[in-house]
Amino acid sequence: MTKTTTSFYQSVQNYFDEAAIHTGLPEGLLGQIKICNAVYQMRFPVKIGNGVQVIEAYRVQHSHHRTPTKGGIRYSNHVNQEEVMALATLMTYKCAIVDVPFGGAKGGVKINPWEFTPGQLERITRRYTTELIRRNFIGPSIDVPAPDYGTGSREMAWIYDTYRTFHGDDIDAAGCVTGKPVSQNGIRGREEATGRGVFYGIREACSYKDDMKALGLKVGTEGKTMVVQGLGNVGAHTAKISQDEGGIVIVGISEVEGAIYKKSGIDIHDLIKFRKETGSILNYPGAESYDKKDRKSVMEFECDILVPAALENQITAENVKKVKAKIIAEAANGPVTSEAATVLQKGGRMVIPDVFLNAGGVTVSYFEWLKNLSHMRFGRMEKRFNQKQYDQVVGVVEKLTGKKVDKRDRQLIVRGADEVDLVRSGLEETMINSYNEIREVMKRKKKIKSLRNAAFVVAINKISSDYMALGIFP
């Protein structure tokens, strides 16, 4: 009898149950934290070509312990209610772990976006937004969407414009959605945010000597080998930043067309250029190629760090024993089923969980939302002031030492922070602090055996504090 893979939603619930027993919280409170508060399923007609197509779509608000709720919108043929519920649930825990004041939400539209023209996608997006507005499921203080798989800044701009059409008198209308183009009240650094957050999380995990020793690895990221599954927004930025800023050697990549492996290392920038020119990563010079039907073999490549950055349920009970990586860094949502996670834990592997690791996107979305509500670009007030202060300090040093600082060095030293510098700094601070909080819980509570378990405990405890403050639960 063939064993069925645990569903994404069931895996998330299993993770919750495993952590809940370590919190000592009352059953009623745990039940409230666990369930989805609101599920909106919709079907609406959109004119496509010479006909009309009925589109299936969802918006789920998992928790209102804090408002607004927050979460991306996914365009995919695989969208279904249970998947969106799982993603919304993870968003609640994610927001709690990185201390952003949102409840979790998620949206999904059941289409293959690559089968539609830009004009057709715009009609679908605007109609979906209209449905959300009609049901009061969107707004800067209600529910704030963002990009996810199959969507990007273009779709967020359409959502923003549609919302403004209905709410022209809302001074904070820009805060109804994040991930917008910078020219339309977006924020610099948002596109790279999830991938950069993944790198910061990996780097922090690799900074502990005892933890690396247990894995048979050296401390730090320099020279470690990495395989990335999925070269979309998250995977590409993770690979680029890991290579450029962490000294990590990218040895394997997979995409929809197949996978490649090169033991000596792949220059990720060169590979992206190669794919743009040829339409495929296959046959990249010097690399072994695996065609579409064998692309999942990327999970079995020799490496120190495996980064699943595509979709859920990629490492399952069926293939987990073939995984060779010592660190599995979950850049995607739910890439490891709960059964596979247990096997990896028992095998002494480190799994850096999605509920923490890919929270860079919502962290920088929070910064964008704050920017929209404050109506001011980050750095505008202080950049020049700081620059003058630093310049004066350099001048004093030159006077005391009698040595002149080189012009180029002086420019680097005195430069005030731009918006993207502040965004990256805030994201780095968030990921480092959150990882250390999770790790501290795991080290302190001996019965907690994994980072995921500890991360869920952290999230549940934070959410429970909000409910208790309301006086609903003792």
Q: What is the pLDDT of residue 1?
A: 40
Q: What is the pLDDT of residue 332?
A: 92
Give per-residue pLDDT as tens, 397-413.
888 999 888 888 888 88
With beta carbons less than 8 A apart as the criterion, state whether 253 and 225 touch.
Answer: no
Report d(CA 376, CA 266) in Å as an integer.
Answer: 41
Helix, strand and coil in the chain, % to nearest 5: 50, 15, 35
Q: What is the pLDDT of residue 6?
A: 74
Q: What is the pLDDT of residue 292?
A: 86
Residue 146 is inside which H or E element, if any?
strand 143-147
**Alpha carbon separation from 352 to 93, 361, 457, 462 (Å, rounded):** 15, 16, 15, 20
DSSP 8-state symbol, 417: P
Q: Which fold is adopted by the domain 8-184? A: Rossmann fold (3.40.50)
Q: What is the pLDDT of residue 227?
A: 96
On average, the pLDDT of the chain sits at 93
Q: What is the CA radius of gyration of the chain?
A: 23
**Domain ranges in the chain with CATH number 3.40.50.720:** 193-357
Give per-residue pLDDT as tens, 73-95.
999 999 999 999 999 999 999 99
**Alpha carbon separation from 31 to 26, 294, 460 (Å, rounded):** 9, 41, 11
Which tokens in the block code for residue 239?
Answer: 């690979």
Q: What is the pLDDT of residue 390?
A: 87
> Is the pLDDT reported for residue 70 higher than 80?
yes
Report d(CA 183, CA 190) in Å as an integer.
Answer: 13
Strand 38-48 versus strand 69-75 pairing type = unpaired
> Is the pLDDT reported for residue 472 higher than 80?
no
Give per-residue pLDDT as tens, 236-266.
999 999 999 999 999 999 998 999 999 999 9
Query: Using 50, 70 and 90 to split pLDDT, how confident is the model at 3?
Result: low
- Using CA atoms of 337, 339, 343, 345 in order, give the dihedral in degrees to the nearest 10: 70
With beta carbons less than 8 A apart as the criterion, state whether 261 and 236 touch.
Answer: no
Give bridge partners of residue 40 from the DSSP assignment: 59
In sequence order, which residues have a C-beta less than 8 Å from that of residue 426 and are 6 or more positions away?
363, 364, 367
Q: Read off the pLDDT of each residue in 266-291 and give the average, rounded to a whole number.
A: 93
Q: What is the pLDDT of residue 259?
A: 93
Report d(CA 427, CA 445) in Å as an integer.
Answer: 27
Four-residue CA torsion sign, 245, 187, 355, 330: negative
DSSP 8-state symbol, 78: T
Query: Using 50, 70 and 90 to split pLDDT, how confident is the model at 311?
Result: confident
List the strands of the sheet with 143-147, edge to edge. 38-48, 51-61, 103-109, 69-75, 143-147
Report d(CA 41, CA 60) in Å as an integer.
Answer: 8
Give per-residue pLDDT as tens, 170-185.
999 999 999 999 999 9
pTM (2 d.p.): 0.92
**Domain ranges in the chain with CATH number 3.40.50.10860:** 8-184
Report d(CA 199, CA 193) in Å as an integer.
Answer: 10
With beta carbons less than 8 A apart as the criterion, state whether 333 and 415 touch.
Answer: no
Higher pLDDT, 398 or 42: 42
Report d(CA 174, CA 85) in Å as an integer.
Answer: 26
Query: Using 50, 70 and 90 to split pLDDT, how confident is the model at 317?
Result: confident
Q: How many CB atoms are closer than 10 A to CB 226?
A: 29
Domain 193-357: assigned CATH number: 3.40.50.720
**Alpha carbon separation from 94 to 59, 88, 129, 351 (Å, rounded):** 18, 10, 24, 16
With beta carbons less than 8 A apart as the criterion, state whether 106 and 91 touch.
Answer: yes
What one-letter code names the amino acid at 196?
R
Give bridge partners of residue 46 from the DSSP assignment: 53
List the catalytic residues: 106
